[in-house]
Chains A and B, each alone.
Chain A
Amino acid sequence: MNVLSCSINTLKGLYDISGVEVGQHFYWQIGGFQVHAQVLITSWVVIAILLGSATLVVRNPQTIPTDEEYGSWVPFIGTMFLFIFVSNWSGALLPWKIIQLPHGELAAPTNDINTTVALALLTSVAYFYAGLTKKGLGYFGKYIQPTPILLPINILEDFTKPLSLSFRLFGNILADELVVVVLVSLVPSIVPIPVMFLGLFTSGIQALIFATLAAAYIGESMEGHH
């Protein structure tokens, strides 16, 4: 029965043409652990871009909002926004395909679940830290505000906040990349270009949303005692 072998040949042929590699990672061994090297490499490029442009920009000073009470969190939120924004746009704009990896391919570092969960966990730690330094152990009183009936929901919030942050960013960036790649492989030339612009727009907005929500969580946990 040769039907299966024919379909296998077709599938293999499609696999060769399509060249879409999702979930394929370029692995490095560090100690006893594996890392996704393509994410690290692209994140280093993003960091280099950020630090380089920061040193250039400081020569022409411009304005930064300085609100004294929340002023110490400006570096965190600012870096969060800049990192995610430059990561997303580097994935869309820079010609990563030029560099061939032995396995997997280079793309935005935020298309990996490790990056987005790392940023979301940092945000969680940040808002806990903000609340605890501001209110001490009285911070845990917020779990029974406004009524103790909402205690399970408030506890659940501490898990859903980082979860939603990470998956929102991950899903948006990965899905945008997939859509663009599939469209490019199916319908060449200028048809995917509007989708690429949509991708630039939404990835910029996702950076803004992540940073805004992080700032909102930090502010929310610092409020109350005025």
Chain B
Amino acid sequence: MANMIMASTKTLISSSPSLPPTTPKPKFHPHLLPHISLPRFPKLPSLKAAALIAATTASSLSLAPLPSFAEEIEKAALFEFNLTLPIMMAQFLLLMVALDKIYYTPLGKFMDERDAAIKEKLSSVKDTSGEVKQLEEQAAAVIKAVRAEISAALNQMKKETAAEVELKLAEGRRKVEAELQEALSALEKQKEDTTMALDSQIATLSQEIVNKVLPL
């Protein structure tokens, strides 16, 4: 920034024509500082004269060669385009290629591998869900079969036990019937016996009754 100030003041510090030609060395020589000798007037009559003096000084200053001091000050070169521009372009493109190889491509590969692994896992998950359905169906079938077996076995057992029960019942009935028959026949016998006994008693009784009734 100071150089810009120096550069803009360059025109003001040019030497007067009376100075000897400057040395080629770019060093600051204090004794070569410019001295401006104004033309002397007895008085300054008017503004117009002062303006004329200023104009002549300025023109002499601007036309004079620069002193050696000014060689130290470069023009500020902010907008200087040179070979740096294509070199920076080439460097950037090389950097892009290098980063692509080192960073983006391996990462891209890694991302693709990850994507592929995820897709595989997804598809395998879908497959196992089908398998799970199959297994479920098998389980249901097995359960049905087992239930059928159990019910069949139960029915059979029921039948067997029913048959046994009937058998036993029949036996019991027969026994009971037999006993009944025996008892009945015994009763019958007793009845006959008693009737026979009664008959004989009836006969005697009736004889007695007749004897009692008639002899009167």
- Chain A residues packing against B (C-beta within 8 Å): 1, 4-5, 8, 11-12, 14-15, 18, 20-25, 30-31, 33-36, 39-40, 43-44, 47, 50-51, 54-55, 57-58, 61-64, 66, 74-76, 78-80, 82-83, 109, 112-115, 117-119, 121-122, 174, 178, 182
B213 adjacent to chain A (CB < 8 Å): no
Residues of A near B80 (CB, < 8 A) are 23, 25, 36, 113-114
Q: CA–CA, A20 to B1, complex, Å? A: 6
Q: CA–CA, A55 to B75, complex, Å? A: 43
Asked if residues B91 and A47 are in contact (CB atoms below 8 Å), the reply is yes
Asked if residues B81 and A117 are in contact (CB atoms below 8 Å), the reply is yes
Q: CA–CA, A20 to B86, complex, Å? A: 28
Asked if residues B96 and A114 are in contact (CB atoms below 8 Å), the reply is no
Closest Cβ of chain A to B40, distance in Å, is 12
Q: Residue A64 contacts which of B38, B81, B104 (CB distance < 8 angstroms)?
A: B104
Q: What residue of chain B has the Cβ atom nearest to residue A115's Cβ?
A: B88
Q: CA–CA, A182 to B39, complex, Å? A: 42
Those of B13-50 within 8 Å (CB) of chain A: 13, 28, 33-36, 38
Residues of B near A76 (CB, < 8 A) are 96
Which residue among B75, B84, B91, B103 has the maximum number of chain A CB atoms within 10 Å of its CB?
A: B84
> 10 pairs across A/B with beta carbons < 8 Å?
A4-B36, A15-B2, A24-B76, A34-B83, A43-B91, A50-B95, A58-B107, A114-B81, A114-B84, A114-B85
Asked if residues A83 and B103 are in contact (CB atoms below 8 Å), the reply is no
Q: CA–CA, A117 to B102, complex, Å? A: 27
B98 adjacent to chain A (CB < 8 Å): yes
Q: CA–CA, A200 to B74, complex, Å? A: 31
Asked if residues B82 and A5 are in contact (CB atoms below 8 Å), the reply is no
- Chain B residues packing against A (C-beta within 8 Å): 1-6, 9, 12-13, 28, 33-36, 38, 69, 74-89, 91-93, 95-96, 98-100, 102-104, 106-108, 110-111
Residues of A near B2 (CB, < 8 A) are 11, 14-15, 18, 20
Residues of B near A22 (CB, < 8 A) are 1, 3-4, 76, 78
Residues of B near A11 (CB, < 8 A) are 2, 5-6, 9
Closest 5 CB pairs of A and B: A23-B76, A33-B83, A114-B84, A118-B88, A54-B103
How many A-B pairs have beta carbons closer than 8 Å: the answer is: 146
Closest Cβ of chain A to B58, distance in Å, is 13
Q: What residue of chain B has the Cβ atom nearest to residue A31's Cβ?
A: B83
A34-B82, A36-B82 given; 16 more Cβ-contact pairs under 8 Å: A5-B35, A12-B28, A15-B2, A23-B80, A25-B80, A35-B87, A39-B88, A40-B91, A50-B95, A57-B103, A58-B102, A66-B111, A75-B99, A75-B100, A79-B100, A118-B92
Q: CA–CA, A51 to B38, complex, Å? A: 66
Closest Cβ of chain B to A4, distance in Å, is 7
Asked if residues B87 and A40 are in contact (CB atoms below 8 Å), the reply is yes
Q: What residue of chain A has the Cβ atom nearest to residue B61's Cβ?
A: A4
Closest Cβ of chain B to A215, distance in Å, is 14
Q: What residue of chain A has the Cβ atom nearest to residue B33's Cβ?
A: A5
Q: CA–CA, A79 to B76, complex, Å? A: 31
Asked if residues A61 and B107 are in contact (CB atoms below 8 Å), the reply is yes
Residues of B near A109 (CB, < 8 A) are 88
Q: CA–CA, A4 to B12, complex, Å? A: 8
Q: CA–CA, A79 to B2, complex, Å? A: 36
Asked if residues A66 and B82 are in contact (CB atoms below 8 Å), the reply is no
Given the known A-B contacts A51-B95, A117-B81, are A64 and B3 also in contact in the complex, defined by CB atoms under 8 Å?
Answer: no
Q: CA–CA, A3 to B53, complex, Å? A: 17
Closest Cβ of chain B to A212, distance in Å, is 17
Residues of A near B13 (CB, < 8 A) are 4, 8
Q: CA–CA, A174 to B88, complex, Å? A: 18
Residues of B near A24 (CB, < 8 A) are 3, 74, 76-77
Asked if residues B104 and A78 are in contact (CB atoms below 8 Å), the reply is yes
